[in-house]
Amino acid sequence: MNMMKTAMLIAFMTALFMGIGLLLGGRGGMMIALVVALGMNVFSYWNADKLVLRMNNAREVDARTAPEFYALVERLAHNAGLPMPRVYLIQEDQPNAFATGRNPQNAAVAATTGLLARLTPDEVAGVMAHELAHVENRDTLIMTVTATLAGAISMLGNFAFFFGGNRDNNNPLGFIGVIVAMVVAPFAAMMVQMAISRTREYAADRRGAEISGSPMSLASALAKIAGAAHLTVNENAERNPAMAHMFIINPLNGQRMDSLFSTHPDTANRIAALQAMTDIGPRPGPSLARDARAPRAAINGQPGPWSRGADRRTPPSGKGPWG
């Protein structure tokens, strides 16, 4: 079903891309847009995950450079029955996380240093389990491709704004066509992003709670992240708003309402759904974040935010304890 939804979304985005080409350059513009869209779809499938990680300045870590965090993700992946994803850290004070990759065998999960500093181990486990749920549900491909194509459609809208006045008679709708290309098409792409993200976040919350075994740890994490996100500016996300829907909580400053223009469901509604799971009873699972086997060694000679005596409430400054 998810693969079918992915194909339908890519087809819709491609048709939208071609429609903009038609409005700006007639049939010739439409054919050029088709070729560009096909090329972008192929590129997105194979390389969009790398692009998203690079746009966020994510740094890959392993069992040597971030033993506690890496071991936590490893245990969660094992509990979910997934291959071990690549693990990344982002030097960013805003607490947040996302997953990317075209399939579970080529997946990556990333968390900000602010997330590790502000949340408890059980809360971090809930967040990363949520991201692994996106991997398991194969949401990562559709979310990554959507981010890439939506950005391209917005770029064409900007092109229409600056160069629409130089159009020739190939434009079938004249000035109205330029307005549609400039406003309607980017708006439609944005609405698709929002609809996809909002519906899939609830499913990832539920499955993530099952993987971690603690719905309320994830609920607590969502409350903390949402409370801090609107107070902390994520410069990378602000520069690239098309990828906002990939994060567990909207990283764009000031987006706090569950409105028509929100990329994420209202946090209170998500917490209520997780609370309902505790009333019914989630699938039994260990408190993975407190597994006795978890390494608690210092990283680069400095105690991590989960080590004894560390202040978990203080966001990292400079490079932080994670390097």
Higher pLDDT, 147 or 42: 42
| In the block, residue with structure tokens 């499913």 | 203
Q: What does the pLDDT read at residue 163?
A: 55
Question: What is d(CA 192, CA 175) in angstroms, rounded to the nearest whole number?
Answer: 25
Q: What does the pLDDT read at residue 323?
A: 41
Q: What does the pLDDT read at residue 300?
A: 37
In the predicted structure, residue 179 carries a pLDDT above the cut 80: no
Secondary structure string (H, E, C) spanning 264-275:
CCCHHHHHHHHH
Euclidean distance between the first and the last CA atom of the chain, given in angstroms as a whole number: 41
Average pLDDT of span 115-139: 95
Strand-pair category, 58-61 with 86-90: antiparallel
Say if 300 falls within a structural domain: no
Q: For residue 86, give the H/E element and its range.
A: strand 86-90
Question: What is d(CA 90, CA 109) in angstroms, rounded to the nearest whole number?
Answer: 11
- Global pTM reads 0.74
Say if 213 falls within a structural domain: yes
Report how many domains make up the chain. Answer: 1
For 79, phi then psi, to 5°, come to -65, -30
Higher pLDDT, 8 or 323: 8
**Which tokens hold the place of 221?**
């994490």
264 is in an annotated binding site: no
Position 297 confidence tier, pLDDT thresholds 50, 70, 90: very low
Say if 295 falls within a structural domain: no
What residues have CB less than 8 Å from 120, skipping those under 6 apart? Answer: 217, 220, 289, 312
∠ CA 47-79-51 to the nearest 5 degrees? 15
134 is in an annotated binding site: yes
Residue 277 sits in which domain range? 2-290
Higher pLDDT, 104 or 29: 104
Count of C-beta atoms within a 10 Å radius of residue 269: 12
78 is in an annotated binding site: no
Question: What is d(CA 123, CA 224) in angstroms, rounded to the nearest whole number?
Answer: 9
Q: Name the 3-class secondary structure at 1.
A: coil
Say if 117 falls within a structural domain: yes
Q: pLDDT tens digits, residue range 203-260?
A: 899 999 999 999 999 999 999 999 998 888 888 888 877 678 789 998 987 544 444 4
Say if 318 falls within a structural domain: no
∠ CA 44-48-49 to the nearest 5 degrees? 140
In the predicted structure, residue 111 carries a pLDDT above the cut 80: yes
Calculate the alpha carbon distances from 205 to 104, 130, 202, 249, 275 in Å: 18, 6, 5, 12, 11
Q: What does the pLDDT read at residue 189?
A: 65
Say if 301 falls within a structural domain: no
Say if 51 falls within a structural domain: yes
Q: What is the DSSP string of 131-182?
A: HHHHHHTTHHHHHHHHHHHHHHHHHHHHHHHHHGGG--TT-TTTHHHHHIII
Say if 233 falls within a structural domain: yes
Question: What is d(CA 61, CA 76) in angstroms, rounded to the nearest whole number?
Answer: 16
Catalytic positions: 131
